[in-house]
Amino acid sequence: MASMLMNSLRCCPPVNPAWVVQYATRSLSASVQLHAQVQTKSKKTLAKPGVKNVVLVEGVRTPFLLSGTTYADLMPHDLARAALQGLLHKTSLPKDAVDYIIYGTVIQEVKTSNVAREASLGAGFSDKIPSHTVTMACISSNVAMTTGVGLITSGQCDTIVAGGVEFMSDVPIRHSRKMRKTMLALSRAKTLGQRLSLIGSIRMAHLTPELPAVAEFSTAETMGHSADRLAAAFGVTRLEQDEFALRSHTLAKRAQDAGFLSDVISFKVPGRDMVAKDNGIRPSSMEQLAKLKPAFIKPHGTVTAANSSFLTDGASAVLIMSEEKALAMGYKPKAYLRDFVFVSQDPKDQLLLGPTYGTPKVLARAGLTMDDIDVFEFHEAFAGQIMANLKALDSDWFAQTYMGRKAKVGAPAMEKFNLWGAVCPSAIRLRHGCRLVTTVAHRLQKEGGQYGLVAACAAGGQGHAMVIEAYPQ
């Protein structure tokens, strides 16, 4: 399939490089102007008869920090607890008013495998509140949120806290399988002779540790390698990727400086300083980006450390409720959570195309078109991944050949796309589901839009898309 994509999609019109600097400069200034004079558009509501309206009341997150930095001595539940406490502080929510707590995570700490429960207890929530943890690779917090939506629309719950956490500073490292088997056998040995025999069987190879795999289990390929192949298949150049990376960090820095990232809560790390902002937002220059060598496919690849996301530590939390319950408790919701879909496709050649498959499906469910969407937020794993998705969305051939559609759905208008940058992207993006939804809600408020669309890809060739509708101001 890769060769088919290469031959057929190289003829797709390239994205004009000039938009990078143009929109990095213009888009955020337009957002500032809209913030000063919000003009809410008049469109139909997506409410459905007989279905409860689910609203986003508030969303918070810890600062996202590069792994191995200030959070290095913590544990995952520490970050999740901080996010939950920040949510409680920001909303003044009674700790016993929540019906259910759900968290998403990718790499589980074995001591706190149900991190939702440990974090909620640590944050002071009632021990009578059920809590569970979900995983779906990079879209785990998306699953946490949509699970909460399902509990509300089914009438099981009215108030849900959902979130995501990942801690790449201290991932589980196991003994080799041979060593594990020997150690288990030692625990069952009944005589000294049996123990000595097992100890004597240990060889140097037994002591080689097993590191967490950064490769797909089904294909044995790293995500970065897959991103490099995908970029090549869609004819995405190194220049386009570097330009998009520069755009992303530039817009993120400007949003940070403008105070738009109001979901970030300050966090006092025990024994260290107060952390108040992301530390991975680093605008550079095209000259500096051009100096980096390929990170995965050497020497001719186009994916580098600078146009890729990096590993981070952090956590997020959102309060979602039925509209009726939120209003009864005196809250002013930020947005409605509307239709959503999860998708899956070929994990080898289409690993990172979740947004391409999810976007048209969720638009169809909501009865909308790309032109109806005022705010787009796609999670940014790699610049090449984003550019490949934009080209796939804008390709009739891809839509007809792989998606069973008569025509393309079209690419998002860049003046609506990720205008606050990647906001400290992470190679493990599970918490981005909550962050993206909160960002869409805030952008809709500031820019006067009505509909937003979130989309994300995930390991395993999976993806998620959701439509968010602004709450009437």
- Catalytic (active-site) positions: 138, 457
Three-state DSSP state, 123:
coil
As given in the structure block, the two tokens for residue 12 are 């797709």
Answer whether 320's CB lies under 8 Å from 91's CB: no
Sign of CA dihedral 125, 127, 128, 129: positive
Q: What whole-number distance in Å separates Cα of residue 431 and Cα of residue 421?
A: 16
Q: What whole-number distance in Å separates Cα of residue 107 and Cα of residue 139?
A: 13
The DSSP code for 415 is G
Q: Which residue's structure tokens are 């957002």?
A: 31
Q: Which residues are within 8 A (CB) of 109 and not within 5 positions of it... i.e. 6 or more apart?
A: 75, 76, 77, 115, 167, 170, 172
H or E element in which residue 246 lies? helix 238-257
The DSSP code for 157 is -
Neighbours of 332 (CB within 10 A): 12
Where does residue 344 rank: exposed (0-12), middle (13-18), buried (19+ CB within 10 A)?
A: middle
DSSP for 163-230 reads: EEEEETTS---BPPHHHHHHHHHHHH--SHHHHHHHHHT--GGGG--BPPP-B-TTT--BHHHHHHHH
* Residues making up the chain, counted from first to last: 473
